[in-house]
Amino acid sequence: MVVGVSRLFTSKVFRKKIHDILKVGIGGTLAFGGISIYFKNEKFYDSLVMPMLHKLEPETAHNVAVMAAKYNLVPEVNLKESELLESRVLNLLFKTPIGLAAGFDKNGEAVEGLFKMGFSFVEVGSVTPLPQPGNPKPRVFRLKEDLAIINRYGFNSDGHEAVYERLSQLPPPGHRKAVLGVNLGKNKNSVDHVQDFILGVKKFGPVADYLVINISSPNTPGLRNLQHREELGKLVSAVVTARDSLSGTHKPPLLLKIAPDLSDDDKKDIASVILKNENRIDGLIVSNTTVTRPLWLESAERQEVGGLSGQPLKSLATHTVTDMYRLTRGLIPIIGVGGVASGQDAYEKICAGASLVQVYTGLVYHGPLLVHRITNELEDLLRVGAVLVRLMHQGWCHTSTHKF
Ligand SMILES: Cc1cc2nc3c(=O)[nH]c(=O)nc-3n(C[C@H](O)[C@H](O)[C@H](O)COP(=O)(O)O)c2cc1C
């Protein structure tokens, strides 16, 4: 028996097997190590992953990206611990001001993978009460030359029940790695718009850190009319009442997401409605996509119907932040969104009056490591800003030459 075993260990076949196992093991370890390093390398995305994704039709690429986040095939970026970046807004703690805008994870499938990518908050939705398919395809278009997207998804949604089921599997509010917002929409064929939002508040109130009443998507007929004074007054008081009557102690803040295409009178009306004590909304998200088309757009897809996002939306959205900050006298926190693709872009939104910033289209062109880059660049800019303020207070800077 002993002789048999020792012969087995010294046999050629056995040595070859061990050799092969070692080869596969070492090769696998090296490949795994290489991919892990690459996963945190922006070049890997710029030169390989993003060009491959952009070979796919935009909606397919979107679905692949959501699946990658769902199955954790995304780079892990630890949320930066930095006093400069951390803030308490809406009575919630945000480790950094950078979050993911609504419309990427419409059905709450990939929240943990998205937290892992380095967002300090993720907004899922828009979710409609009943499942609905949205508009016919194709309904998403890349405007490559303009670093933009036009979409007319039209609230394709798995509906409240399915999305709630997924979100209730996550740790409860206050025990998550980052903040979770739920963006509420309405069904295309619903006859009572207000009721759709009330249902959303009741369903997701217990699981969301904050809720968003989305009255600004351009792809659902009649939705944006809810931004007008009288309709808005009714809607806001109904959703605030629904939130206040949620059972238990968890009553999430309610935010309103508005369009960038509002007239001056619309903006004044919105500010006056939401500042009323009985209708007190907790925050604004500024802004959704635009239905306007700047004349300088170059891409052939610029004439597609739908909402335009990305670079061409940036200054319009930032101006809307400035206007709403002024009209609400800084009393209501604003989340600035539209065309953010760098720390400088995020910084401009903050200077315009935003407390937090969201990103979407930037990710489509720059890949998942953009979150890390924006956060680092923003921290540097905030540090310079803080030094300038200190110098100014010490009399080193001439106030007339510095904004601070
Ligand atoms: C493909 C796509 C789908 C979107 N879907 C939604 C949505 O369901 N609900 C919503 O409130 N905003 C939606 N948005 C708007 C974004 O949340 C964001 O407000 C807008 O795109 C501006 O930001 P960005 O320029 O960084 O993309 C969508 C945007 C895109 C590009």
- Give 184's DSSP letter: E
Residue 141 Cβ contacting ligand 1 at under 6 Å: no
For atom 18 of ligand 1, which residue has the closest CA? 288
Task: Give average pLDDT by consecutive 10-residue segment, the chain, 404 residues.
Answer: 56 72 59 54 82 94 96 84 92 96 98 96 97 97 98 97 98 95 96 95 97 89 78 92 92 96 92 84 97 96 97 98 96 97 97 97 94 94 80 58 34
Separation of 52 CA from ligand 1 center, angstroms? 23
For residue 36, being part of any structural domain is answered with no
From CA 18, how far away is CA 353, in angstroms rounded? 64
For residue 51, being part of any structural domain is answered with no
Tell me, what's the pLDDT at 388? Answer: 75
From CA 19, how far away is CA 72, in angstroms rounded? 33
For residue 3, being part of any structural domain is answered with no
Threshold 0.75, pTM exceeds: yes
For atom 14 of ligand 1, which residue has the closest CA? 103
For atom 7 of ligand 1, which residue has the closest CA? 103
In this structure, what token pair is assigned to residue 291? 């239905």
Let me know: does 141 contact 304? Beta carbons within 8 Å.
yes
- State the SS3 of 32-48: HHHHHHHHCCHHHHHHH
Let me know: does 153 contact 134? Beta carbons within 8 Å.
yes
Query: Ligand 1 test: best mutation among 212, 285, 289, 365, most atoms within 8 Å of CB?
Result: 289
For 90, the domain range is 58-401
Q: From the candidates 126, 217, 309, 355, which is the catalytic residue?
A: 217
Separation of 360 CA from ligand 1 center, angstroms? 7
Let me know: does 365 contact 389? Beta carbons within 8 Å.
no
For atom 29 of ligand 1, which residue has the closest CA? 103
217 annotated active-site? yes
For residue 270, being part of any structural domain is answered with yes
E-state strands within 114-217: 121-127, 140-143, 148-151, 179-184, 210-214
Separation of 396 CA from ligand 1 center, angstroms? 43
Q: How far is CA 237 from CA 211, 242, 275, in A?
A: 15, 9, 12
For residue 215, being part of any structural domain is answered with yes
Residue 360 Cβ contacting ligand 1 at under 6 Å: yes
108 φψ region: left (φ > 0), alpha (ψ -120 to 50), beta (else)? left
Which neighbouring-strand residues pair with 179? 121
Separation of 278 CA from ligand 1 center, angstroms? 30
Residue 103 Cβ contacting ligand 1 at under 6 Å: yes
Tell me, what's the pLDDT at 283? Answer: 97
> How many independent structural domains does the chain possess?
1
Separation of 12 CA from ligand 1 center, angstroms? 63
Let me know: does 97 contact 119? Beta carbons within 8 Å.
no
Give the type of residue at 131: P
Tell me, what's the pLDDT at 216? Answer: 85
For residue 10, being part of any structural domain is answered with no
For residue 334, being part of any structural domain is answered with yes
For residue 27, being part of any structural domain is answered with no
CATH at residue 78: 3.20.20.70
Tell me, what's the pLDDT at 15? Answer: 73
